[in-house]
Chain A
Amino acid sequence: MLLTIEDLTKTFPGTVALDGVCFDLRAGEVHALLGENGAGKSTLVKCLTGVHARDSGTIWLEGKEISPASTLEAQEAGIGTVYQEVNLLPNLTVAENLTFGRQPTRFGMVSGRKMRAEAEAMLAGYGLDHVNVTRELGTYSVAVQQIVAIARAVALSGKVLILDEPTASLDARETETLFQVVRGLRERGLGIVFISHFLDQVFEISDRLTVLRNGRHITTADTAGMDRLELIHHMLGHELEEAEGRRRHRQGGVERLQVRGLARRGKIEPFDLTVREGEVIGLAGLLGSGRTETADVLFGRTPPDRGDATDADGPIDLRTPRTAIAAGFGYAPEDRKTDGVIADLSVRENIALALQARRGWTKPIPRAEQRRLANDYIRRLDIRTPGAEKAVGDLSGGNQQKVVLARWLAMNPRFLILDEPTRGIDVGAHAEILKLIGELTAQGMSILLISSEFDELIAASDRVIVVRDRRHVSELVGEEIETGRIIDAIAAHENGEGAMTP
């Protein structure tokens, strides 16, 4: 065994995050670590790499007991990690981020030239040739940052590589690139821990898997011998509620919004959009194809420089998010790592935040009302927290995500944009969220749903708009909405360069 963890226990005030967990990792295998949001996966990783001090338990690496007290010590022992929340440091250059702590020096001075060369070598094979390593990391997209973080961890991991939801912000092609790298490392005899909520990816890449539930070890098995339903059963502790098949398509509701010729130079070409009451519009396309850009323009995050929007009462001002919110728009952005939760505020406060902002600070929402709201969403989204007063920063990554979602749902906007609402959310909660979308639209809310998962789009949307190369290229309605048609529309006329993330 390359790495063995025995009887690891970790408690946080009010929560037993890990309860006597055992885990082992062989050299030359990809070991998937699975479980619901809040099961303890990230905590296990953090105890292993010295971010959290464990209460009890032992860790052996290659037969020697180790007890890293910091990430640095873990790195020195040969364990490289991509943490779920970390995006490296946006204010340093790409090269500095990559070589951090191991910058090549000459006479004690960092050699810029060597550092650049080393960084470029580290990035080779990840398809990031357009990235200038001397630029600040923050100027690149989240996907690029994620790949840089992975490249860094790979370079640091002499023996063990840990990837905590590395694919949450990657598209299919980038994921494939990552998997190629991972397979190469496996061949070289590294042990790789892979955490993900994408079960397809787990089945594709992993050799063995371990399931945690409520901080306990449930099972460890060969991936090949495990079937999907059994796995979900292990994770949830019960069967997945039968997904309610495909939604019955609604058409011909009252027209609520009309958008004409809305565009932003360099971001998204002019598009028209009519939104009807109670409908779900799916937005499909590759990462960087103009999906998020469409949402940004609609919400005033990047103000449109052309076009207009009207509703029954006349024109709508979409120049800033504030005016868009005033017009009854809501937007749960994809990049929840950066503009999501406020970690130090409680679940209740985070949920009430947007609603409060909309009402204005002079009209505070009564405590009792806030508490009712918070408890309502904790129940509906199955947010795993000891209570509404817990600081959001103490929740697991997926549960933090649910809080952000709850914040926008609580505003009860008439038009809600959801950008990848189920990224990083476990299979159980995934179904809950789709159910909730159904309920909300039944009450009249209109939703623009952006998602890379076709199943999700197909299950939830009344029509699907396909975006490619910053253009809305086609619209599928009713029976046309199926995986094959969506893929065809995305791929049709695809020119050689494809759709790379900018």
Chain B
Amino acid sequence: MNARALPLYATIAIFLIAYLICYIQFPAMLSTRVIGNLLTDNAYLGVVAVGMTIVILSGGIDLSVGSVIAFSGVFIAVMLRDTGLHPLIVFVLLLAVTTAFGAAMGGLIHGLAMPPFIVTLAGMFLARGAAYMLTIDSVPIDHTFYDDVLQDAYYRMPGGGRLTLIGVVMLLSVAGGMTLAHRTRFGTAVYALGGGQQTARLMGVAVGRTTVLIYAFSGLMAGLSGIVFSIYTGSGYPLATVGTELTAIATVVIGGTILTGGAGYVFGTLVGVMTMGLIQTYIVFDGSLSSWWTKIVIGLLLLLFILLQKGLLIFGRKQRDIAA
């Protein structure tokens, strides 16, 4: 068995066990309704986590994404309110802005040899500030295209669950991320950077270009996540999604990607997102638990995964010793 894939299997196993526990307690949880809601409610998180996975695989981090999502919501709401532009055109503009923003951060990280943590921290404040400059209030989105098409499009699954448009967007994002990470040269370069930047450079990785592309991709996904979030909430609010970057990082780690980069799978991140969603759903079903339990369980899960990864590393080394 491939030792690299062990954390992924562990993640999947944990998700299935958790689901089984939920199912035994609340049989209703195994329904397409719940699954449809899981996808819909966590769509924005899933989309942004795909970008985060690529960044973390490369050994970086992107703290700006939460603010970028908020900025996106505000940008869309304000543009739709103040200009006559069609939402689709606004989307294109927005994605161009967030992608350029990510690319600029990547450029700084490479050009000035600065730690991604610092550069994206600055990006986090900048994007949040830009959102405030557009408005300080919550701006409702009032557009027929939103109400009748985007928010209303869904596929009714057998059993009555709704597979919404934004749920599909998330699944497509994951599929796209998987292709990018595992099936393209760019993806290999991302893993190479995560394995060691100095070595990667000597192997002929175009470090600068790859870094810029990685953060541009994360910016793009954050923008897309902002669109999804605006469809989900129907408004733009500069104070929204505070701390989402950290939740995204948590899902990536729970999904089995190593925080120091170089190893992990995009699919694991989807499982990580679903695991988080599952915990929330469980708490809703239970009714008596405070929503803070979500945080506690996520904290415990994170801890578990970090321990698991360490354990697997040691286990893998032992296996290798025996094989050798």
Over the window 214-246 of chain A, the binary record of Cβ atoms lying under 8 Å from chain B Cβ atoms (1 yes, 0 no) is 000000000000000000000000000000000
Over the window 165-190 of chain B, the binary record of Cβ atoms lying under 8 Å from chain A Cβ atoms (1 yes, 0 no) is 00000000000000100011101110
Q: Does the CB pair B184–A100 fall under 8 Å?
A: no
Contact of B204 among A70, A96, A108 (CB under 8 A): A70
Confirm or deny: A75 has a beta carbon within 8 angstroms of a beta carbon on chain B. yes
Chain B residues within an 8 Å CB radius of A156? 204
* B45 shortest CB reach to chain A, Å: 27
Confirm or deny: B196 has a beta carbon within 8 angstroms of a beta carbon on chain A. yes
A139-B320, A266-B321, A266-B324 are known contacts. Are A51 and B188 too (CB-CB below 8 A)?
Answer: no
Q: Does the CB pair A101–B185 fall under 8 Å?
A: yes
Q: Does the CB pair A92–B322 fall under 8 Å?
A: no
* B200 shortest CB reach to chain A, Å: 7
Chain B residues within an 8 Å CB radius of A90? 195
Instruction: Name which residue of chain A comes closest to B324, CB basis.
Output: A502
Q: Does the CB pair B199–A89 fall under 8 Å?
A: yes
CA of A405 to CA of B191, assembled, Å: 33
Interface-central residue, A86, A90, A105, A267, by most chain B CB under 10 Å: A86
Confirm or deny: B92 has a beta carbon within 8 angstroms of a beta carbon on chain A. no
CA of A109 to CA of B187, assembled, Å: 10
Chain B residues within an 8 Å CB radius of A103? 185, 188
Q: Does the CB pair A108–B203 fall under 8 Å?
A: no
Chain A residues within an 8 Å CB radius of B194? 91
A92-B192, A92-B195, A100-B192 are known contacts. Are A110 and B184 too (CB-CB below 8 A)?
Answer: yes
A109-B184, A110-B184, A139-B320 are known contacts. Are A101 and B203 too (CB-CB below 8 A)?
Answer: yes
Over the window 306-324 of chain B, the binary record of Cβ atoms lying under 8 Å from chain A Cβ atoms (1 yes, 0 no) is 0000000000000011101
Q: Does the CB pair A110–B321 fall under 8 Å?
A: no
Confirm or deny: A365 has a beta carbon within 8 angstroms of a beta carbon on chain B. no
Q: Does the CB pair A89–B185 fall under 8 Å?
A: no
Q: Does the CB pair A267–B321 fall under 8 Å?
A: yes
* A66 shortest CB reach to chain B, Å: 16
Confirm or deny: A302 has a beta carbon within 8 angstroms of a beta carbon on chain B. yes
Confirm or deny: A88 has a beta carbon within 8 angstroms of a beta carbon on chain B. yes
CA of A109 to CA of B184, assembled, Å: 5
Instruction: Name which residue of chain A comes closest to B185, CB basis.
Output: A103
Q: Does the CB pair A92–B191 fall under 8 Å?
A: yes
Chain B residues within an 8 Å CB radius of A108? 184
A-B contact count (CB 8 A): 81
Confirm or deny: A171 has a beta carbon within 8 angstroms of a beta carbon on chain B. no
Confirm or deny: B33 has a beta carbon within 8 angstroms of a beta carbon on chain A. no
Q: Does the CB pair A89–B206 fall under 8 Å?
A: no
Q: Does the CB pair B195–A109 fall under 8 Å?
A: no
Confirm or deny: B122 has a beta carbon within 8 angstroms of a beta carbon on chain A. no
Chain A residues within an 8 Å CB radius of B2? 135
Confirm or deny: B202 has a beta carbon within 8 angstroms of a beta carbon on chain A. yes
Chain B residues within an 8 Å CB radius of A100? 188, 192, 203-205
Chain B residues within an 8 Å CB radius of A267? 321, 324
Contact of A89 among B184, B195, B321, B324 (CB under 8 A): B195
Instruction: Name which residue of chain A comes closest to B182, CB basis.
Output: A110
Chain B residues within an 8 Å CB radius of A502? 324
Q: Does the CB pair A96–B188 fall under 8 Å?
A: yes
Contact of A72 among B4, B205, B262, B320 (CB under 8 A): B205
Q: Does the CB pair B3–A75 fall under 8 Å?
A: no
Q: Does the CB pair A72–B206 fall under 8 Å?
A: yes
Q: Does the CB pair A101–B205 fall under 8 Å?
A: yes
Confirm or deny: A83 has a beta carbon within 8 angstroms of a beta carbon on chain B. yes
* A22 shortest CB reach to chain B, Å: 25
* B270 shortest CB reach to chain A, Å: 20
CA of A96 to CA of B184, assembled, Å: 11
Q: Does the CB pair B4–A110 fall under 8 Å?
A: no
A89-B196, A89-B199 are known contacts. Are A72 and B204 too (CB-CB below 8 A)?
Answer: yes
Interface-central residue, B4, B195, B201, B204, by most chain A CB under 10 Å: B204
Instruction: Name which residue of chain B comes closest to A97, CB basis.
Output: B203
Over the window 370-397 of chain A, the binary record of Cβ atoms lying under 8 Å from chain B Cβ atoms (1 yes, 0 no) is 0000000000000000000000000000
Confirm or deny: B38 has a beta carbon within 8 angstroms of a beta carbon on chain A. no
CA of A141 to CA of B323, assembled, Å: 12
Confirm or deny: A210 has a beta carbon within 8 angstroms of a beta carbon on chain B. no
Chain B residues within an 8 Å CB radius of A89? 191-192, 195-196, 199-200, 203, 262
Q: Does the CB pair A105–B199 fall under 8 Å?
A: no
* A43 shortest CB reach to chain B, Å: 14
Contact of B199 among A81, A88, A136, A266 (CB under 8 A): A88
Chain B residues within an 8 Å CB radius of A110? 183-185, 187-188
Confirm or deny: A412 has a beta carbon within 8 angstroms of a beta carbon on chain B. no
Could you tell me the dominant secondary structure of chain A's interface residues? loop
Instruction: Name which residue of chain A comes closest to B262, CB basis.
Output: A91
CA of A105 to CA of B187, assembled, Å: 13
Chain A residues within an 8 Å CB radius of B199? 86-89
Contact of B322 among A87, A135, A136, A266 (CB under 8 A): A266
Q: Does the CB pair A109–B192 fall under 8 Å?
A: no
CA of A105 to CA of B183, assembled, Å: 9
A51-B201, A70-B201 are known contacts. Are A91 and B321 too (CB-CB below 8 A)?
Answer: no
Confirm or deny: A71 has a beta carbon within 8 angstroms of a beta carbon on chain B. yes
CA of A101 to CA of B324, assembled, Å: 30
Instruction: Name which residue of chain B comes closest to A83, CB basis.
Output: B202
* B86 shortest CB reach to chain A, Å: 31
Chain A residues within an 8 Å CB radius of B4? 91, 136
Confirm or deny: B263 has a beta carbon within 8 angstroms of a beta carbon on chain A. yes
Contact of A86 among B3, B185, B203, B262 (CB under 8 A): B203
Instruction: Name which residue of chain B comes closest to A112, CB basis.
Output: B183
A91-B263, A92-B195, A502-B324 are known contacts. Are A71 and B201 too (CB-CB below 8 A)?
Answer: yes
Q: Does the CB pair A105–B321 fall under 8 Å?
A: no
* B265 shortest CB reach to chain A, Å: 13
Chain B residues within an 8 Å CB radius of A265? 322
Interface-central residue, A72, A81, A502, by most chain B CB under 10 Å: A72
CA of A139 to CA of B321, assembled, Å: 9
Chain B residues within an 8 Å CB radius of A266? 321-322, 324
Chain A residues within an 8 Å CB radius of B192? 89, 92, 100
Q: Does the CB pair B188–A71 fall under 8 Å?
A: no
Instruction: Name which residue of chain A comes closest to B206, CB basis.
Output: A72
Chain A residues within an 8 Å CB radius of B200? 89
Over the window 295-307 of chain A, the binary record of Cβ atoms lying under 8 Å from chain B Cβ atoms (1 yes, 0 no) is 0000000100000
CA of A92 to CA of B205, assembled, Å: 14
Interface-central residue, B4, B188, B322, by most chain A CB under 10 Å: B188
Over the window 201-215 of chain B, the binary record of Cβ atoms lying under 8 Å from chain A Cβ atoms (1 yes, 0 no) is 111111000000000
* B178 shortest CB reach to chain A, Å: 11
- Chain B residues with CB under 8 Å of chain A are 2-4, 179, 183-185, 187-189, 191-192, 194-196, 199-206, 262-263, 320-322, 324
A-B contact pairs, 16 of them (CB 8 A): A70-B204, A70-B206, A72-B205, A86-B199, A87-B199, A89-B203, A89-B262, A91-B195, A97-B203, A100-B204, A101-B185, A103-B185, A103-B188, A105-B184, A109-B179, A265-B322
- Chain A residues with CB under 8 Å of chain B are 51, 70-72, 75, 81, 83, 86-92, 96-97, 100-101, 103, 105, 108-110, 135-136, 139, 141, 156, 265-267, 302, 502
Q: Which 7 A-B pairs have the closest CB atoms?
A: A89-B195, A91-B262, A91-B195, A502-B324, A72-B204, A109-B183, A71-B204
Beyond A70-B204, A86-B199, A101-B205, 14 additional pairs, beta carbon < 8 A: A51-B202, A83-B202, A89-B195, A89-B203, A91-B262, A92-B195, A100-B188, A101-B189, A103-B188, A108-B184, A109-B179, A109-B183, A110-B188, A139-B320
